[in-house]
């Protein structure tokens, strides 16, 4: 690795974000409308350049906060109400992925609870939560033009990562508010996997997995029906045994 700057080609490095949440029983992703060419007017994933003195994870957290007001879940201390999970997804560096110049994008995956409040600093016309099925739909439509750049691929990879990761980790709780019921957690799994799960078996499974859920003592009827116990996410990050996705 020589010093000589002419020995290597310069790249622009960006972070792109796949921000997922569950709204109205559907898995949704954050999309922004592009205001300038290329792909002007098309929807894209939020993202931006990594600064010269900034770590990749820091850049992703900064973009996430700018775009949504969400803060990255801190391991220590009490989690704020609007805490999100953030992890690196993959890096995309096809020489032709951006027609202007050579851009390498380090995509990150963020999982957030459904936000009742509007997004900070967001323009309603240029930022929206869209069902991933719509965004990944190939057909043209009012809101269904393909995503800009290679963002459909990135989104698909992010969705697949989320789908498989909630199997063997407690990440599904990142889609829930701080306190949640077993039924709410089940609806998260159903929305992310796109399947229906048996409430009784799910309840047994999830309450029987050590470290997954801790009861808070409270109950709620916000979903209607009989009052349900409230839980908080337990300390376990890896689930043993895992939640099994039903056969394809």
Partner DNA sequence: GATCATAGTCGTCTGCCTGACGATAAACAG
Partner DNA sequence: CTGTTTATCGTCAGGCAGACGACTATGATC
DSSP letter for 138, please: -
Residues 188-227 close enough to bind DNA by CB under 7 A: 198-201, 203-205, 207-208, 221, 223-227
- Phi then psi for residue 174, to 5 deg, are -65, -20
Q: Are 111 and 84 in contact (CB under 8 A)?
A: yes
Give the one entry of its own copies, DNA, none that residue 102 binds, where binding means its C-beta sits below a cut-off of 5 to 8 angstroms depending on kind: its own copies
100 binds, among DNA, its own copies, none (CB under 5 to 8 A by kind): its own copies
**Following DSSP, what letter does each residue of 178-224 receive, concatenated?**
SSB-HHHHHHHHHHHHTS---HHHHHHHHHHSTTTEEEEEEEE-TTS
Measured CA to CA, the distance from residue 18 to residue 86 in angstroms comes to 10
Among the listed ranges 119-127, 128-136, 153-161, 239-247, the one in contact with DNA (CB under 7 A) is 239-247
Interface residue with its own copies, options 24, 75, 78, 100 (CB under 8 A):
100
237 binds DNA (CB under 7 A): no
CB atoms within 10 A of CB 54: 15
Q: From its own copies, DNA, none, which one binds at residue 11 (CB under 5 to 8 Å depending on kind)?
A: its own copies
- Positions that interact with its own copies (CB under 8 A): 1, 3, 5, 7-14, 36, 48-56, 88, 90-95, 98, 100-102, 104, 106
């Amino acid at each position: 690795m020589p010093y000589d700057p002419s020995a290597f080609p310069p790249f622009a490095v960006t972070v792109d974000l796949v921000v997922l949440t569950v709204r109205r029983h559907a898995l949704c992703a954050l999309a922004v409308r592009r205001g300038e060419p290329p792909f002007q007017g098309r929807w894209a994933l939020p993202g931006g350049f990594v600064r010269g003195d900034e770590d990749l994870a820091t850049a992703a957290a900064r973009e996430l906060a700018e775009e949504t007001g969400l803060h990255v879940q801190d391991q220590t201390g009490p989690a704020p109400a609007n805490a999100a999970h953030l992890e690196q997804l993959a890096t995309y560096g096809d020489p032709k992925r951006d027609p202007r110049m050579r851009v390498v994008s380090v995509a990150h995956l963020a999982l957030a609870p459904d936000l009742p409040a509007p997004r900070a600093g967001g323009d309603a016309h240029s930022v929206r939560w869209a069902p991933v099925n719509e965004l990944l739909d190939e057909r043209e439509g009012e809101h269904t033009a393909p995503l800009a750049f290679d963002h459909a691929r990135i989104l698909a990879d992010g969705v697949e990562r989320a789908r498989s990761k909630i199997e063997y980790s407690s990440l599904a709780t990142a889609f829930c508010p701080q306190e949640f019921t077993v039924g709410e957690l089940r609806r998260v799994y159903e929305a992310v996997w796109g399947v229906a799960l048996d409430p009784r078996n799910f309840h047994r499974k999830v309450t029987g997995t050590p470290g997954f859920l801790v009861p808070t003592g409270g109950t709620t009827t916000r979903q209607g029906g009989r009052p349900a116990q409230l839980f908080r996410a337990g300390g376990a990050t890896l689930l043993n045994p895992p939640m099994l996705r039903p056969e394809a």
